[in-house]
Amino acid sequence: MDKTKIYKIAGAAIKVLIIIIAFSILYYKILYRNDLADIFGFLRNMVDSDRISSLIFAFCLMFFNWGTELQKWRFLTKRIEKVSISSSITAIFSGITISSVTPNRVGEYGGRVFVLKPENRWQGVILTIVGSISQLITTLCMGIISLLIFYPFFNLTDAMEFALVIGLVFSFFILLTFYFNVSLLLGLIKKIKWLQPIVKYVSVLNKVQTSDLIIVLLYSFLRHIIFSLQFYLLFRFAGLEIEIYHSFVVTSIIFFILAAIPTITLSEFGIRGSVTIFIFTLFFQNTIYDTQLLNLQVVSAAFLLWIINLAIPAVIGSFFILKLKFFNHQ
C-alpha cells in the first residue's frame, strides 16, 4: 500500500473518530442529566407562550456570532493567505467540532488551519491564538468592569473591597499592555535557545499592527455584545424578569468566571449552569423571588445558550470536517 492511500485512510479514521467522540459527549451531556425532564418540561411551557420570538431571535444571533468570528479570523489570516468565505465557514465550524472534545477549546487553533496551505498552517495557529487572546481580553475586561459594578452584592469588608478594586484595575491595564505589545513575546522567544525552531512561525506577529489589534478587539467586543444579548433574550424566554443593563452586567461576570475554569466545550453546560445560578442567587438575594423557579429559569437559559452557540455548531461542523485534509499527501 503506497503512502497516499495510508494517509487517506489515516485522515478518514481521524475524522470519524472526532465525529464519534463529539456526538458521544453531546449525547451523554444532554440525555444523562438528572434535571433534564424538569428543563424540557419547563421549556415546553415556554414554547407555548408569547415569548417564543425571543428564542427565535437568540437562535438567529448564532449566525451573527460565528459570522463575526469568521470575519475576525479572515482579517487576521489575510497576512499569510487569502481565504475564501466558503473555506472560512469550513474552518470555523470544523474548528468548533474539534475544539468540543478538547480542554478549553484548544483544538480550535489546529482545527481551523487545515483549510490553509500546509506551509502557512503554523503561522495560522499563531494568528488564531491572537484572535482568541483578543476575545479573552474582551471577556476579562468586561468582566472586571462588571465586577466593579456588582461587588456590593458580595457583602465584602472595606479592606476586601479595596483589594478587589485595586487588583481588578491593575489586571485590566496589564492585559491591555500585553496585548498591544505582542512583539515583546517574539523578542523573548528569540532569547530562549530551545524555542528557536518556532521563531519563523511566531515572526508573523511582526505583520500585525496596532491598528489591526484594535480592529480585532472590536470584532471581539461585538461578539461579547451578541453573547450577552442572546443570554438576555433567553432569560426573557424563560420568564426571568431582569433589566437588560443588569443582565449584561451579570452575564459578563458569568463569562469572566467561565473563562478561568478549565472545561471541555461539550461538558461546559453543567459548569455554565452552576455559575449562572450562583451569580443570579447573589443578584436576587434581597428580593422576593422563588428560589426554585429562579434556578430552573437560569439553568434553562444556560442550557439553551449552550445548545445554540456550541452544540448545534458542533453538529454542523461534523459535516465540514469531512472536507478537511489533515495530511499533505491526502
Letter string b/e over residues 99-134, b meaning 16 or more CB atoms within 10 A of that residue's CB:
bbbbeebebbbbbbbbbbeeebbbbbbbbbbbbbbb
pLDDT per residue over 257-285, tens digit each?
A: 777 665 544 445 555 666 777 777 777 66
Contacts of 226 (CB under 8 A, 6+ apart): 61, 64, 65, 68
Contacts for 5 with CB less than 8 Å, ≥ 6 apart: none
Pick left, alpha or beta for residue 325 (phi over 0 → left; psi -120 to 50 → alpha; otherwise beta). Answer: beta
Query: What mean pLDDT is predicted for residues 282-310?
Result: 76
Residue 264: phi, psi to the nearest 5?
Answer: -100, 130
Q: What are the cell numbers at 279?
A: 451569580
Per-residue pLDDT tens for 63-90? 999 999 999 999 999 988 898 898 889 8
Alpha-carbon distance of 37 to 42, in angstroms, equals 8
- pLDDT value, residue 74: 93
pLDDT attached to residue 266: 46
**Reduced to 3 states, what is the DSSP secondary structure of residue 70?**
helix
**Which of 75-84, 86-95, 109-118, 187-196 is least confident?**
187-196
Q: 249: burial class by Cβ within 10 Å (0-12, 13-18, 19+)?
A: buried
Instruction: Quickly tell me which residue has 461534523 as its cell.
Output: 318
Name the helix (H) or strand (E) containing 224. helix 210-237
Q: Which helix (H) or strand (E) holds 250?
A: helix 244-259
**What nine digits make up the cell of 36?**
433534564
pLDDT at 201 exceeding the cut of 90: no
- For 159-179, what is the mean pLDDT? 73
pLDDT at 25: 72
Q: Residue 292's pLDDT is what?
A: 74
pLDDT at res. 64:
94
**Grid cell for residue 194:** 530551545
Tell me: pLDDT of 106 over 90: no
**What average pLDDT does this structure show over 33-50?**
68
Across 183-210, average pLDDT? 74
Residue listed under C-alpha cell 437588560: 244
Query: Which neighbouring-strand residues pair with 264?
Result: 103
Beta-bridge partners for 103: 264
Residue 212: the pLDDT is: 92
pLDDT category, 327, cuts 50, 70, 90?
low
* Helix or strand run (H / E) with residue 271: helix 268-283
Predicted structure pTM score? 0.83
- Which grid coordinates belong to 260? 478561568
Q: Is the pLDDT of residue 133 over 60?
A: yes
Query: Residue 183's pLDDT is what?
Result: 67
Amino acid at 174: I
